[in-house]
Each structure stands twice: as structure tokens, then as C-alpha cells.
Chain A
């Protein structure tokens, strides 16, 4: 099977000015948005606030959650619904920079505690202070201890069953669930549990806080890692393709890959965290791969077609590789699309970034990497050509 019956003959390099203009447009729009508009949202990894994921027993709406948080003065937190049943929420408290450096992580934690308490509601908190145990946050050992009173021999296996069930579902919503498979608690045991414990209104799925010191470190190290790896690629490509212009073109392509992706990303509500940095690097990886494949073709054709102009060789290389570029990017796109659809909340931002990146990577390879080599040769190597 073939995408193209014959090798296509598209004069890609004719569109280099249009492509350049489009790139500049997107990047400028993005930069304006980043610098003057909403800006890039740095995530928890870089020392900005606390991220809490919770799951409720009953479905609630975002506005109800916000109302609960407003009662403790945290109504301006970012609240996002996750999952499908209106039961999972992701809450980002924004820290108010009034505290001193030293106390900041503590203040993050206090904020997080306040969020959790507010969401728990008065009823649950009262039960806790009365010494009742919350079955939706109790650990294995404590539950085993609790069950010893009614089921001395089976306490451990019952506790394991209950906790495993809770792990599977995130939260136990009603006592009825404990009567059914796979736990099969008897009414007597349930009554006992009801006398000592209750089913909390919500449970905390995850909680992340990074203090400003560590946040700063992580930011610095991430930047360092990216810069050094770009330099490494530049040096290798320049050596292998025997020309600084190829290295420079590759780096230029990569720089604009990052810029375009971040520009588009800045228009969404999503945050930048360490996995997003990994995503950016992946995009850079694919793009450099594409670019090298084209450069490799150019290198090969230059040996066999010495008379041909560089521009024509570039066009031919792009055309010869076109079906490969489309197939490879197509399969990557499929992979990322499945991550985006099925990968779940945690991986969603990453997959979204990759979706932008795969499309953008094809564009940058075809329309931008070669023109840079051309420009470089025109402006810096004129003398050589005239010799």
C-alpha cells in the first residue's frame, strides 16, 4: 500500500516566507499572552500553592465546593472537576504571599488542612472529635484493631477486603456496599462498625505541596537540564553533518517547537509541572528525529546530485520522505490520542501538550528546518560560494 502512487513534487520551500510569518504570528501572540495576558501557569512543582484531589461520597457541583471553601475564605481557589460522576475534584489553593520565606510551606499545609476541613463539613468533624473513626480514611492496622472486637479470627482478612475495596473505588459510599460481594459483612458486624465508625463525606486522593526553596531548585535544575541537552544535540549534529548551519537549523527548529507549543499551551487553563517539561522534551525529541531524517537525505543526495542547487535537493528530500513523515507522525498521533482519551486525569495535560507538539513538529520539520540552512548559507557563506 502507498500513500502516494508517485513521489510527490511539492515545492515546500516556496512557502518558507508564509511559514515564517505564521510562526512569528503564533509566537508573538503567545508571548503577548504570556507576558501581558494570562501568562503561563506554573504548577505545584515549582512552588506555587497546594494541589489537593478529593472524592466525594455523593455527587456535588463545582459551585457547592466553592461555597464550602468560601466559608473559610478560600473561595478564590481553582476548582476543577475530574472524572465523570461529579464526585472527583481537583483544588488548587493559591497562596497569598504575605508570609515570610521560612513559614511558607507550613502556610501551604495550613491552607491545605483548611480546605480539607471545610470540605469535610461540620457533621464529620464533630464525629471525629467524638472519637468516631472515618472508615473512608482509616488505615489497615487501625481497622484490623477495630474489627478484632467482633471478628477476632477474621479481623485481618476482613480489614484487607474492606481497604482493597476502598482502594479500588476511591471511597465507600454506603454501608450497603459492605454487605454485598466481595466483603459480605454480616448485619451484626455492620451494626458494630456503625457504632464506632462512620463513612466520611469525602476522601483525599492526593495532596502535593512544594515549598518555595525546593520549587526554585526544581526550576533551576529543569532549565539547566534542558539547556545542556540542547547544547549536546547542537554539537553532535554540527559534527555529524559537518556544518554549523545544520546544528544551528536544528536548534532553531527546536527553539521554535518549544515556543509554539508553549504559546498555544498558554491559551489553555493548564499548568506547567515537571511532567509537562518531560512532554516538551519528548516533542523536541520527535522533532529532532524528523529533522535529522531530512538532513540525512540531503546529505546523501548532495553526494549523488552535485550539480543540483541546494534548494532543489531540499525539496526533493522533503518529498521523498513525505510518506514516512506522515506515517510516523500519524502513528505517534494515534498513540498520544489514546493517552489523551484513555489516560486519565493525571496524564491528560501531558497528552494534550503532546497532541499540539506532534502536529507542530511535522510543520516545523517541513517548513522551517531547511530554510534556516538556506538562509545561513546565503548570509554567512556568500564568500565561499563566490570563490
Chain B
């Protein structure tokens, strides 16, 4: 073998070996997209306005307290909208003291006196920070929940200012996970003042038809079987924030339930309230819906049971969300795609069959039409595929249906490159040149066409990658990989095969 053929062979073996290494074993190295594997793709928006709203409520309550403590009188305190609240009727002579107090307590709010009102406005920077924090916290909470639930290889990413993308491969019960992500999970224990009643009117009969100032009405969760309205105290005895640990267990009738323990602070309050209200009911409320209202039978200090006719799955999910904590803001689903595992595996199977039939048909045609040279093209094509999958493995790209389309375009262009070269060689032979120089001219003449067409397509694919989303990006990646591979296999490898197997003084060429 000639010297320059030896290093060419070495290069080819190294490249192919490397790609085989990168793709082996394919089950682990090639990640299938959700459209092929089955799974759920969710895009959700964090309602960051919620975080602003909570902050406004908290600040309003805080300043009410501060003003009262410092003997500052006012007629009315009110929230105008999220990020804006006011106090009305603060005496003029107290203004100076008020200014000092505000400066002492907050830097995030702008304030101004206008007429008889003291108006607070949340600073833009502070609002931006709160929104950002809400998204980060939501993302963390969702990640915690999904981790606790146990999904293999979830992708949870922030997208833009207030969106989160969640990808859950291979989930069999997507609705359950969707609900698990979406619940706000605010847990509250509140004393029951009255109830249950079939409707609000009956419930409030003893209170003159009006909800007392220190109470509120909650409905029982329809999922828990019983329907009814309860009047409960406005202030929660303990909340989800006071939980120290939760675990799945059973209640005294062996039904699934959730056991919890409280941190010292919460336990102190719990002990006090339960001790003083033996015989009364304590409502357990999740996201504003009453789960159960057991009767307090004894003073309870730091542990208890949440029961509520849960199914085992519901009890498990409750443990997950209580452990992961509440969402700082509500979320809204913007996009939802769920592909069941059987449809995904169907797609893979059918895509594989179609791909194999296609490659087989192309191979048969190439051998039939080009004989020895056709075999050469097939080897180039197979190596091309190995390089593509090696690259996909290396870049950790996911293979999707549009990605397969990209590979098909790549196969087409790989075959085309060989066809161009072979037709050119035929032309040269037809003119009467000898075999060796026909091969040389054929390759060099065809090269500019192959180079230009591949590069043009690569350029367009790069733009698609840059500006495209999801499927279009997947398409661009496989296309770029296969075109680069193409320049190597169709030009370099094919040429090597001709040079290695066709003697320089050959009289005939099987093409």
C-alpha cells in the first residue's frame, strides 16, 4: 500500500473508532426526544404578580403594626393594587415621625404624602427582584417535588423572564404529575367555629347572616367525599411552614394518611391551641379546601395526622408537596404535550422500519446501477451514519422526529455526492481518458458542487439552530452533523476506496 494511503486509512479508522466509542452502547448514549420515547413537555408561566401581591399585603400589615406601636393614628389602611397601598388620615403633625419610621423600616418602597393620603409604591427594582425571586423559588420548589416524586432525568429550566420548561420523560401518569406541580400547597390548621352546613346561608344563620370579622368560610374538598361549608378562624394555628417532617402512614382505620411533626415554635402554638379547645374541631385546609376536620380529643404538642379519605397515591403526593414546600406564586400552563409510551415506541418502531427500508432500497439501487462503485457509496453511507450518531452522542443532543428528517436529508445529500462524482467519472471515461485520471478528474470536478451545496445547507441550518425552537433546532443539529460527515465520507473515504482498490493501470472500472 502506498504511503499516503496508509495514513488515510489510519485517519479513517481513528475517526470511525472514535464515533463508535461515542455512540456505544446506543441505548445510553442516544437520548430519544419525548416524541419518540413518550413523556410530558410542559411550559408554564409563573404568575409573578402573586409575589408582588403577597409583598404588598405583608408590608401593609407590617406598617399598620408599626404605626400602632408608635401611636400614629390613621383612619384607613388599604391596598389599592399589587405594589401600591395607602394610609388615610394621618395627622399632619405626625408626618415627620412617620417619615423617620418608614426610612427606618424599608428601602424597597417609595412613599409620598398627597392630600390626606400617605401612598406607598413598590420600587421598580424591588418589584423586579421579587418577580425574579418568585421564578427562582418556583423552579426550585418544582424541582424538589419532581425529585421527591421520582422521575428519571427530568429537565427543569427557566425560559425567558417568567417561564419554566419542564420535561418529564417516560412518565406513565402525566395528569398526576401535572397536578403535583401545579398545587400551591399552602397547608393551614384552623379552628372550626361552625359547620359543616350544606350551604353558606345555613352556616351563617347563627351569626346574623354575616361572616364575623375574625373568621372565614371554607368549603370541603369535593375529592374528599363529603360536601359542606365550614366557618373557621381567620388566623391559622400552624401552617406548612411549621412542619418539621412528614411521612406516609395510616390512620386508626388503616386508611392512608400523612403523619407530621412540628418544629418547636409551631409545637408551642399547637399545644396551646389544642389544649384550650378540647372537644372542638380543627380544620385541616390545603390550598383553601378543607381536607378533614377532626375533633381535638387531647392536648397535642408536636405531632399529628392528616386524614381525609386519601387514596394511597394522594397520600404519597401530599407527602411530596408538603416536603417540597409551597409555591411562592401561582403558575399557569402555557403548553402541554404528552406522548404516551406506547405511541412513542410505535413511532420509533415505524420510524426504524421506514428508515431501514429506505436505506435498503437506496443500497440495492446503488449496487444495481453502479456495481463496484455502488458498494463504495454504500460503505461511505454507513460510515456517514456512524459519524452522525457519534456526533449526536458527543453533543448529547436528543433525537426527535424532525431530527430524523434532518438525517434523511443528510442521507439524500450523501448519496447525491457519490452520484455526482460517479457520473462525472463516467463522463471522463466516455471522453476516452484512462481510468486513474478519470477518477482523479471526476473527484476534483465534482468537489466544488458538493462543497458549495453542502456548505449552503450548513449555513441555512446554522441560522435555523440560532433562531429556531425545539423541533426545528433538533432538525438543524442532525442536519449539520450529517453534512459535515458527508464532506468527509463522500469525498475523502470514497476517494480512498477507489485509490486502494483500483490499480493505477486499470483498463476497466465497474461503475
Contacts and interface: CB of A to CB of B under 8 A. Distances in A.
B464 A281 contact: yes
Contact of A225 (B173, B406, B409, B464): B464
Interface residues of B, number: 83
Nearest to A273: B471
A324 interface: yes
A207 to B, nearest CB: 5
A281 B312 contact: no
Nearest to A209: B336
A297 interface: yes
Contact of A232 (B172, B448, B463): B463
Contacts of A1: 368-371
B18 interface: no
A370 to B, nearest CB: 16
Interface in A222-267: 222, 224-226, 228-233, 236-237, 240
Interface in B261-305: none
B342 A167 contact: yes
Interface in A37-76: 53, 55
B419 A221 contact: no
Is chain B's interface secondary structure helix, strand, loop, or mixed overall? helix
A207 B313 CA distance: 23
Name the residue in B405, B406, B412, B452 with the highest tally of chain A Cβ atoms < 10 Å from its Cβ: B412
B365 A289 contact: no
Interface stretch (A12-20, A22-30, A185-193, A332-340): A332-340
A292 B469 contact: no
A385 to B, nearest CB: 26
Contacts of A240: 452
Contacts of A330: 365
A236 B455 contact: yes
Contacts of B332: 102, 105-106
Interface stretch (A118-126, A135-143, A150-158): A135-143
Contacts of A324: 416, 419-420, 423
Contact of B343 (A145, A205, A282, A297): A205
Contacts of B354: 338-339, 341-344, 347
B144 interface: no
B173 to A, nearest CB: 4
A137 B174 CA distance: 10
A208 B333 CA distance: 12
Interface in B148-202: 171-174, 176
Contact of B461 (A229, A299, A328, A343): A229
A292 B347 contact: no
Interface string A187-203: 00000000000000001
7 contacts: A163-B172, A207-B336, A222-B469, A226-B464, A275-B401, A281-B460, A334-B361
* Nearest 6 A/B pairs, CB to CB: A344-B350, A229-B460, A296-B449, A139-B173, A225-B467, A139-B172
Interface of A: 1-2, 53, 55, 102, 105-106, 109, 131, 137-140, 142, 145, 163, 166-171, 203-211, 213-214, 217-218, 221-222, 224-226, 228-233, 236-237, 240, 274-275, 277-279, 281-282, 284-286, 288-289, 292-293, 296-297, 299-300, 320-321, 323-324, 327-328, 330-332, 334-336, 338-339, 341-344, 346-347, 350
Interface of B: 35, 43, 45, 171-174, 176, 311-313, 332-343, 345-347, 349-351, 353-355, 357-359, 361-362, 365-366, 368-371, 401-402, 404-406, 408-409, 411-413, 415-416, 419-420, 423, 426-427, 445, 448-449, 452-453, 455-457, 459-464, 466-472, 475, 479
